[in-house]
Amino acid sequence: MYFVEMVSQRILVKDKKRNLKIFLKVSIVLLVFVFLGLMIYYSYLGIFSSDSENTIVLENPLNKIVLRYASYDGGVIPITPEQQEEIILDGILEFNEDYINYILLALGVDKLHKSLSFENPRIKLDIGETWSSEIIRGVPNTYKRNIEEEDIKFIMTKEEGVRALLSNNLVDYMKESVITGRTQIEMVASKGELFSKGYLGLYEDLTGEEADI
């Protein structure tokens, strides 16, 4: 009887070890597949590509208006306060998707990417009228229309956007505009969705604070 019990215990121990080995093998295989999946996913997003491949160069759309009022003199374009106000008024009248794209790229939206569910980043802008931008492979595609289920929302005036474009440093100007409340940012999507698309870093860069979601 004692011998039978000992044999049963040995078999039980062997079964436990075999089950543990099977579990470890399955876990390793799953981890390998997850790792490969993430590698493919991030490669698809272009995160492993060089910066030169992802560089987007746009001309400040306000330049053509500035040239109407200022004369070129040895690389310097002097603008009087009166001319600046005229430029701002013209900029407000001519405000279009090029203005928005330039501002968004200056803020770093080219670093945003698809979520784990392969949805593109979507940004809504309330500038007295509704504009929306979908970021596709780092490039903003902006239209004068409303969208459903945006990730974040910028609220600002056209004048504030034009003044940002006319400033010496657009990024610093926008940071100050956000901090003082002239520009507002509403985080609409869930924190997980915002994190997966890269918004949290962008928000922290602009505000100097972590997103309170």
Reported as a single tens digit per residue, the pLDDT across 53-82 is 456 667 999 999 998 887 666 555 678 889
For residues 52 and 86, the model is more confident at 86
**Averaged over 32-37, what is the pLDDT?**
59
What percentage of the chain reaches a pLDDT higher than 70? 70
Residue 155 confidence (pLDDT): 97
pLDDT tops 90 at residue 2: no
Residue 188 confidence (pLDDT): 94
Three-class secondary structure assignment of 188-212: CCCHHHHHHHCHHHHHHHHHCCCCC
Residues 167 and 6: their CA atoms lie apart, in Å, by 84
Q: How confident is the model at residue 46 (pLDDT cuts 50, 70, 90)?
A: very low
Residues 145 and 60: their CA atoms lie apart, in Å, by 23
For residues 209 and 194, the model is more confident at 194
pLDDT tops 60 at residue 138: yes
Residues 181 and 172: their CA atoms lie apart, in Å, by 14
pLDDT tops 80 at residue 7: no
**Local structure of 1: helix, strand or coil:** coil
What is the pLDDT of the chain when averaged over all its residues?
82
Residues 157 and 151: their CA atoms lie apart, in Å, by 20
pLDDT in tens, 78-133: 788 899 999 999 999 999 999 999 999 999 999 999 988 889 999 999 999 999 99
Answer whether 156's CB lies under 8 Å from 184's CB.
yes
